[in-house]
Amino acid sequence: MHGPDRLIQGMAGGGDFRIIAAQTTETVETARELLDLAPVAADALGRALTGSLILARLLDKALKNQYVTLRFEGDGPLGVVIAEGTVAGHARGYVANPVPTDAALDVPHALGRGRLTVVRGVPPEGRPYTSQLLTTGTGIAQDITRYLHRSEQITSAVLLGVLNRRDGVAAAGGIVIQVFPHATEESISAIEQRIKEAPPLSTLLEKLPIEDVVATVLHDVEYKQIDAGHTVPVSYSCSCSRERALAPITLFGEAEILEMIGEGGTEVVCQFCGRKYAFTSEDLLALTAKHDA
C-alpha cells in the first residue's frame, strides 16, 4: 500500500502557508476493529482522530506530550464521539453508539448538531486549555476550521477523508493548510482554487501515499515538504492501565464497593480500546481499607 501511517509537514506558496498532513488508514482501521464501528461511525471517528493528530502538531508549543481531545456532542444517532491525538502520533477514540440503525447516513447527519469541546494539555501537570463551540451540522472539517479561527486565531483550510470498503477502511487521512497573516490575497485565492478543484480527499488517499496526495491537491502552488526527520509515525494506541481503570472505582461510596465485593469482584472495560481489567474481591477490599484510613 502506501507505507505506514504518518504525519508530514511542509511549507507552500513561498512561506505563505504551512501544511500538515496525515495518512491514517491503519489507525482508523484499528479503531474500526477495536470499537466495532459501522461504516458511518468509522468515517466520523476517522475524521476526528485525524483532526486531533494534526491539531496536536499544529498547536504544538514544543511540548512533547501535548494532546488534543475533540469531543463532539451532537443530537445525531452516533451520540458522543471522542478523539484524542498526541504530538507523538498516538491516537485513540470512542463512539457512544457505534452502530446506528440508519446505515445510509452521512457524517454530518450521524453527528447532528450540538457542541464541540476542544481540550489541549500536557499530562500529567498543566491545566488543560478548553474551548467550546456550537456545531452546525456541516461536518468535522468545518467544525475544526471554525475552532481554529475563533479560539486560536488561525486561518486555515481543513480537508479530511475516510473511505470505507466492504472489508474495512480502505483509506483515511487529512490535510490542514494554515494561512499565515502575511499571505497575499493572490496566493490565498490560488490555494482556495486548488482546494475547490481537488478530487475528494478519500479517493486520492486510496490511490496515492500522503506525500503525493498533498502535491496533487496543491499541484501548481509551490510546495516543499520539511525533511523526513520531522515525519511522525502515527498509530492507534491507548494509554490505559490497570491503575487508571481502578481510579473511577475509588470514587464510589463504601456501600457500592461492598456490593461489588459481594458479587465476587468487578470488571472495568476501557472505552477507548476494549481492554478488560478485572478486580477481585481482595483488590476491592484493599480499597475499602484505604477509605477507612
Residues from 34 through 53 that contact Zn ion (CB under 5 A)? none
Beta carbon nearer to Zn ion, 113 or 275: 275
- Under the binding rule (CB under 5 A), the answer on residue 238 touching Zn ion is yes
- Under the binding rule (CB under 5 A), the answer on residue 273 touching Zn ion is yes
Cα pseudo-dihedral 32, 38, 41, 46, rounded to 10:
30
- Candidates 11, 122, 226, 240; binder of Zn ion (CB under 5 A) is 240
Contact between 240 and 273 (Cβ < 8 Å): yes
Provide, rounded to whole angstroms, the least separation between the CB of residue 217 and Zn ion.
34
- Candidates 270, 277, 279, 287; binder of Zn ion (CB under 5 A) is 270
- Under the binding rule (CB under 5 A), the answer on residue 55 touching Zn ion is no
Provide, rounded to whole angstroms, the least separation between the CB of residue 22 and Zn ion.
21
Provide, rounded to whole angstroms, the least separation between the CB of residue 162 and Zn ion.
22
Contact between 8 and 58 (Cβ < 8 Å): no
Contact window for Zn ion (CB under 5 A) among 3-11, 209-217, 235-243, 250-258: 235-243
Contact window for Zn ion (CB under 5 A) among 98-106, 155-163, 227-235, 262-270: 262-270
- Under the binding rule (CB under 5 A), the answer on residue 272 touching Zn ion is yes
Contact window for Zn ion (CB under 5 A) among 39-47, 179-187, 224-232, 272-280: 272-280
Contact between 112 and 93 (Cβ < 8 Å): no
Contact between 173 and 21 (Cβ < 8 Å): yes
Q: CA 139 to CA 246: how far, in whole Å?
A: 36
Find the helix or strand (DSSP H, E) in which 70 lies: strand 67-74
Q: CA 195 to CA 209: how far, in whole Å?
A: 18
Cβ-based neighbour number of residue 62 at 10 Å: 6
Beta carbon nearer to Zn ion, 17 or 236: 236
- Under the binding rule (CB under 5 A), the answer on residue 236 touching Zn ion is no
- Under the binding rule (CB under 5 A), the answer on residue 67 touching Zn ion is no
128 DSSP 8-state letter? P
Can the peptide bond before residue 124 be classed as cis, meaning omega within 30 degrees of 0? yes
Site residues (vs Zn ion, CB under 5 A) = 238, 240, 270, 272-273, 275
